Structure 1
Amino acid sequence: MSFKIAIIGAGSVGFTKKLFTDILCVPEFKDIEFALTDVSEHNLAMIKAILDRIVEANNLPTRVTATTDRRKALEGARYIISCVRVGGLEAYADDIRIPLRYGIDQCVGDTICAGGILYGQRNIPVILDFCKDIREVADTNAKFLNYANPMAMNTWAAIEYGKVDTVGLCHGVQHGAEQIAEVLGAKSPQELDYVCSGINHQTWFIDLRLNGRKIDRDELIAAFEAHPVYSQQEKLRIDVLKRFGVYSTESNGHLSEYLPWYRKRPDEITRWIDMSDWIHGETGGYLRYSTETRNWFETEYPQFLEAASKPIDASKRSNEHASHILEALETNRVYRGHFNVRNDGVITNLPRDAIIESPGFVDRFGINMAAGITLPEACAATCMASINVQRMSVHAAISGDIDLLKLAVLHDPLVGAVSTPEEVWQMVDEMVVAQAQWLPQYAHAVPAAKERLSKSTVKTREWAGAARRSVRSIEELRAEKAALKQAV
C-alpha cells in the first residue's frame, strides 16, 4: 500500500515518534509517506532526524518529509493527524496562572474549566484553518484524526464548522481499563471486556466483565480500596465510584477539575489528591511536567536519536487508536475502540450535537458506533454540565463573542463553585488580553477589555495554589532517574 499521512504539530516529538512506529508495525504500511509539519523549524528538524534514523535502521522504503508549509504537507494526504498546542507552554502558563489569581486551582486545565476553555479559543480558529486546507488540497476522502485538546471542542468545531470527516482520539479509556484489570487481579488487560461511554475525559465504565463474569459496583470498590497504590492515588476517583456506582476513565487530577465539589476549597484539595505524581491532582501539574519534559528532551536529544537506531518491535505497538484505525480502514481487519464523534443518538440521554466518546468498530466501511447506549442518570447529568460549557465555548470561538465566552466560563462547574460573576468577567478580560496574540477573533474586544481592567475594583491575589511544586532542573531530573535505576 502507498498513501500519505500528514502530521500537524509533528514537533510534539515523543508523541509523533510513537504514532510513527505504531503505524509502521502494520506490515502493509511500509511504503507510505509521512509529511511532517509544525510552526517550529527546530522541532521539525529534531523529529525528522529521529524518524529518518528509524527508517534507516529498519531498512524501510518509508518516506519522511518535513515542512513549515502546512498546505504542502497536506497535499494529497489521505489521513491527517493533529497534535497541536496553540500558544505552546507560554499560553498554557497563563491558563493556570491567571485563574489562580481568582481562586481557581486546576491540575491540568486542558478540557474545560477556565484554562481548557481558553485553550479551545486558541485552538479552534487554527483547527478551522486546517479543515479549509484539508478540503482544498488533501485527498477527496481524507480523514482528520484529532488528538489535540480540548478534544470535544476541537472535534465539535471540525465537524460542525470545518465540514471535514473527523474523529477525536484519546487514550483515557485504555488507561482506565488497565487499572481496573489490575485491581481485579487479571493476568492481562485483554481479560477485561467493557463498555465505556460518555464524553471525552468524562467517560464511564458502565459494563465490566472479567473473563465473562459481570463485575458489580461493590466488588470494584473493594478491589480499588484494597489496592496498595491506587487506594492512595485515586481517592477522589474512588469517592465518585462510590457515589455514582461507576468508575470514570479520567485520572484523579483530571476528574477533580471537571466537578464542582472537590477543588473549590483550598484546605479541602489536599484531602482528595496525591502528590506522588502530577496526574493525581497537583496544582498546575501537567504544566510542570510538560515544562520538565521539554527541557529534558532538549538536553538529552543525542540519547533519543541514538535510541532511534533500534529495530521496530511490533510486540510493543501502543494502544493509541490511530494505527489501529488506519489498519482497519485499509486492510478490513476489524478494530474495536472508543472514539469521539458527534452523538446523533448513539447515547440516548445526551444531546445529538454533543461530541461523545463511546465504543465503535472500524473496518473498510468506516467507523461504526454502537448505538442505543443510556448512561446512568448521574453520569449523564455531569456530562451535560460540560457539554453546555463546550457548546457555548465553541460558538464563542467561532463568533469572537467575548460576552458568550464569559457566560461559558461562568457556567463551568468548578469556576461556578469558586468565583462570583464579577470575578469571572474580569478573569476572562485578563486572559483574553494576556493571550491576544493567539486570539485573532477577539482582537476587536481587546481594547475595551483593557479599559475595563484599568478601572476594575475586583480584588485578586497572587497564589501558587493548594499543592504546587516547582519545575525541577535537568540536574534534579538526572539525579532522580539515577536513584530510581539504582533502586530497581
Structure 2
Amino acid sequence: MSFKIAIIGAGSVGFTKKLFTDILCVPEFKDIEFALTDVSEHNLGMIKAILDRIVEANGLPTRVTATTDRRKALEGARYIISCVRVGGLEAYADDIRIPLKYGIDQCVGDTICAGGILYGQRNIPVILDFCKDIREVADTNAKFLNYANPMAMNTWAAIEYGKVDTVGLCHGVQHGAEQIAAVLGAKSPRELDYVCSGINHQTWFIDLRLNGRKIDKDELIAAFEAHPVYSRQEKLRIDVLKRFGVYSTESNGHLSEYLPWYRKRPDEITRWIDMSDWIHGETGGYLRYSTETRNWFETEYPQFLEAASKPIDPQKRSNEHASHILEALETNRVYRGHFNVKNDGVITNLPRDAIIESPGFVDRFGINMAAGITLPEACAATCMASINVQRMSVHAAISGDIDLLKLAVLHDPLVGAVSTPEEVWQMVDEMVVAQAQWLPQYAHAVPAAKERLSKSAVKTREWAGAARRSVRSIEELRAEKAALKQAV
C-alpha cells in the first residue's frame, strides 16, 4: 500500500513518534509517506531526525518529509492527524494563572472550565483553517483524525463548520479500562469487555464484563477501595462511582474540574486529590508536567535520538486508536474502539448535535457507531451541563461574540460554583486581552475589554492555588529518575 499521512503539530515530538511507530507496526504500511508540519522549524527538525533514524534502523522504504508549509504537507494526504496546541505553553499558562485570580483552581484546564473554553477559542479558527486546506488540497476522501484538546469543541467545529470527515480520538477510555481490569485482578486488560459512553472526558463504563461475568457497582467499589494505590489516588472518582453507580473514564484531577462539587473551596480540593502525580488533582498539574517534559526533551534529545535506532516491536504497539483505525480502513481487519463523533441519535438521551464518545466498529466502510445507548440519568445530566457550555463556546469562537463567550464561561459548572457574574465578565475580558494574538475573531472586542478592565472595581487575588508544586529543574528530574530506577 502507498498513501500519505500528514501530521499537523508534529513538533509534539513524543506523541508523533508514538503514532509513527504504531502505524509502522502494520506490515502493509511500510511503503507510505509521512508529511510532518508544524509552526516550529526547530521541533520539526528534531522529530524528523528521530523518525529518519527509525526508518533507517528498520530498513524501511517509508518516506518522511517535514515542512512549515501546511498546505504542502496536506497535498494529496489520505489521512490528516492533528495534535496541535495553539498558543503553546505561553497561552496555556494564562489559562491557569488568570482564573486562579478569581478563585478557579484547575488541574488541567484544557477541556471545559475557564481554561478549556479559552483554549477552544484559540484552536477553533486554526482548526477551520486546517479544514479549508483539507477540502482544497488533500485527497478527495481524506479523513481528519483530531487528537487536540478541547476534543469535543475542536471536533464539533471541524464537522459542523469545517465540513470535513472528522473523528476525535482520546485514550481516556483505554486508561480507565486498564484501571478496572487491575483492581478486579485480571491478568490482562483484554479479559475485560465493556461499553463506555458519554462525552469526551466524561465517558461512563455502563456495562462491565470480566471474562464474560457481569461486574456490578458494589463489586467495583469494593475492588477500588481495597486497591493499595487507586484507593488513595482516585478518591474523587470512587466517590462519584458510589453516588452515580458507574465509573468515569477520566482521571481524578480531570474529573474534579468538570463537576461543580469538589474544587469550589480550597479545603475541599485538598480533601479529594492526591499529590503523588499531577494527574490526581494538583493545581496546574498538567501545565507543570508539560513544562518539565519540554525542558527534559530539549536537554536529553541525544538520548532520544539514540533510542530511535532500536527495531520496531509490534508487540509494543500502543492502544492509541489512530493506527488501528487506519489498519481497519485499509485492510478490512475490523477494529472496535471508542470514538468522538456527532451524536445523531447514537446516545438516546443526549442532543443530536453534541459530540459524543461512544463505541464503534471500523472496517472498509468507515466508522460505524453502536446506536441506541441510553446513559444513566445522572451521567446524562452531567454530560448535558458540559454540552451546553461546549455548544456556546463553539458558536462564540465562530462568531467572535465576546458576550456569548462570557455566557459560556458563566455556565461552566465549576466556574459557576466559584465565581459571580461580575467576576466572570472581568475574567473573560482579562483572558481575551492577554491572549489577543491568538484570538483574531475577538480583535474588534479587545479595545473595549481593555477599557472595562481599566475601570473595573472587581477585586482579584494573587493565588498559587490550593495544591501547587513548582516546576522541577532538569537536575531534580534526573535525580528522581535515578532514585526510581534504583528502587526498582
Q: Same fold (TM over 0.5)?
A: yes
CA deviations on 1:157-193 (whole Å, 9 max, x unpaired) are 0000000000000000000000000000001000000
CA deviations on 1:427-476 (whole Å, 9 max, x unpaired) are 00000000000000000000000000000000000000000000000000
SS at match of 1:5: strand
In structure 2, distance between residues paired with 1:482 and 1:197? 40
In structure 2, distance between residues paired with 1:110 and 1:269? 19
SS at match of 2:208: strand
What does residue range 423-438 of structure 1 map to in structure 2 within 5 Å?
Answer: 423-438=423-438
Cα offset, 1:88, TM superposition: 0.1
Q: What is the identity percentage for the equivalent residue pairs of Structure 1 and Structure 2?
A: 98
Cα offset, 1:261, TM superposition: 0.1
SS at match of 1:117: helix
SS at match of 1:66: strand
In structure 1, distance between residues paired with 2:357 and 2:214? 22
In structure 2, distance between residues paired with 1:424 and 1:42? 38
CA deviations on 1:357-396 (whole Å, 9 max, x unpaired) are 0000000000000000000000000000000000000000
In structure 1, distance between residues paired with 2:69 and 2:221? 51
CA deviations on 1:223-280 (whole Å, 9 max, x unpaired) are 0000000000000000000000000000000000000000001111100000000000
SS at match of 1:367: strand
SS at match of 2:76: coil
In structure 2, distance between residues paired with 1:435 and 1:204? 34
CA deviations on 1:272-310 (whole Å, 9 max, x unpaired) are 000000000000000000000000000000000000000
1:350 equivalent in structure 2? 350
Structure 1 runs, 4 residues or longer, greater than 6 Å off: none
In structure 1, distance between residues paired with 2:412 and 2:427? 13
SS at match of 1:45: helix
Cα offset, 1:222, TM superposition: 0.1
Cα offset, 1:203, TM superposition: 0.1
SS at match of 1:264: coil
2:123 equivalent in structure 1? 123
CA deviations on 1:79-136 (whole Å, 9 max, x unpaired) are 0000000000000000000000000000000000000000000000000000000000
In structure 2, distance between residues paired with 1:412 and 1:2? 46
In structure 2, distance between residues paired with 1:483 and 1:364? 49
In structure 2, distance between residues paired with 1:217 and 1:324? 31
In structure 1, distance between residues paired with 2:126 and 2:290? 22
SS at match of 2:457: coil
Instruction: Indicate whether 1:256 and 2:256 are aligned.
Output: yes
In structure 1, distance between residues paired with 2:486 and 2:257? 36
Aligned residues: 488
What does residue range 300-315 of structure 1 map to in structure 2 within 5 Å?
Answer: 300-315=300-315
SS at match of 1:385: helix
In structure 2, distance between residues paired with 1:251 and 1:448? 39
1:9 equivalent in structure 2? 9
1:448 equivalent in structure 2? 448
In structure 1, distance between residues paired with 2:7 and 2:190? 30
SS at match of 1:255: helix
In structure 1, distance between residues paired with 2:212 and 2:485? 39
In structure 2, distance between residues paired with 1:394 and 1:408? 9
In structure 1, distance between residues paired with 2:138 and 2:251? 36
Q: What TM-score, normalized by structure 1, do the two folds share? A: 1.00
In structure 2, distance between residues paired with 1:155 and 1:486? 44
1:188 equivalent in structure 2? 188
In structure 2, distance between residues paired with 1:189 and 1:333? 21
Q: Which runs of 5+ in 1 are unaligned?
A: none
SS at match of 2:185: coil
CA deviations on 1:42-85 (whole Å, 9 max, x unpaired) are 00000000000000000000000000000000000000000000
CA deviations on 1:143-164 (whole Å, 9 max, x unpaired) are 0000000000000000000000
What does residue range 140-219 of structure 1 map to in structure 2 within 5 Å?
Answer: 140-219=140-219
